[in-house]
Amino acid sequence: MKRFFRPHLKDVFFAWRNLGKFCSQAQYEWENAGLLLDNGIETYRPVCFGENTKWGIENKSFIITEKLKGQVLTDFVRQNWHNLDRHEKEKVVAGLAVFVRRIHTLKISLPDLYVWHIFISKNSDGEYDFAVIDLHRMSRNVTNINIQIKNLGRLDYSMLDKYFDEDMRHLFIKSYTGQDWPGDIVVLTRKVKMFSKAISSRRRRQEY
């Protein structure tokens, strides 16, 4: 269950700007989860939501979802990373990059894209599957590449050096861009790094 109490007006208008209608924060998460699932992006699967309003304005709301399979990526990395060979680590990093690119291809921005908001599981083919959570700041119809780069910068910021070295980070960018990236990969890498460092200068990195 995720609960929302007395949302700020900026959150109310943010949801309106993305959906074209006023709705509770719980309904906004519900709508966002549905959009991702409809497009093959795994996330928590909503069961129901409820809301309490006063004069049409949300006072509080909640959403209940099914339990996600797999585990939070931070737990997976902390428990398994040192026992995985290089090839297996690269499969995880490359798979995550492709997953994020698929989200961005849908013109979706996830400003809370951190490793602790990613779930990982292994399928019957031995490949890794991913899911993303925390969707209440998700934006739709985002065509500004710089906004997507900020998503990548936040993800880079959350990838601790003791697990993800420079070669791994380079592999992430290479896998993210694939064969059809319209710009310069070197420029993209530099911008992601710059934004990641800017966050690091303001926040203490979260250990896992």
Domain carrying residue 22: 2-65
Tokens of 47: 């069961």
Return the pLDDT at 8: 79
Note whether 61 and 85 are same-domain residues: no
Tell me how far apart the alpha carbons of residues 154 and 179 are, in angstroms, rounded to a whole number: 23
DSSP string of the chain? -EEEES--HHHHHHHHHHHSS---HHHHHHHHHHHHHHTT--B--EEEEEEEEETTEEEEEEEEEPPPSSEEHHHHHHHHGGGS-HHHHHHHHHHHHHHHHHHHHTT-B-TT--GGGEEEEE-TTS-EEEEE---TT-BSS---HHHHHHHHHHHHHHS-TTT--HHHHHHHHHHHHTT---S-HHHHHHHHHHHHHHHHHHSPPPP-
Q: What is the pLDDT of residue 83?
A: 96
The sign of the CA dihedral 107, 144, 109, 113 is positive
pLDDT at 23: 86
**pLDDT value of position 59:** 83
- Nearest Cα to 30, choosing from 4, 10, 55? 4
Residues 61 and 87 in one domain: no
Give a yes or no: residue 207 inside a domain.
Answer: no
Instruction: Residue 135: give its domain's CATH number.
Output: 1.10.510.10
Cα 95 to Cα 47: distance, rounded to the nearest angstrom = 28
The answer, yes or no, to whether residue 22 has pLDDT greater than 90, is no
Q: Do the beta carbons of residue 120 and residue 71 sit within 8 Å? A: yes
Angstrom CA distances, 179 to 156, 173, 176, stand at: 21, 12, 9
For the cut 80, the answer to whether the pLDDT of residue 57 exceeds it is: no
Could you tell me which of 51, 11, 39, 3 has the C-alpha nearest to residue 139?
A: 11
Do 60 and 75 fall into the same domain? no
pLDDT per residue as tens digits for the range 88-119:
999 999 999 999 999 999 999 999 999 999 99
53 shares a domain with 135: no
Quick one: 25 and 115 in the same domain? no
Domain count, the chain: 2
In this structure, the answer to whether residues 37 and 13 fall within a common structural domain is yes
In this predicted model, what pLDDT tens digit does every residue of 28-44 receive, in sequence order? 999 999 999 999 999 99
The per-residue pLDDT for 14 is 81
Q: Are residues 92 and 183 in the same domain?
A: yes
Specify whether 79 is located in the same domain as 50: no
Any domain includes 177: yes
Query: 31 with 56, same domain?
Result: yes
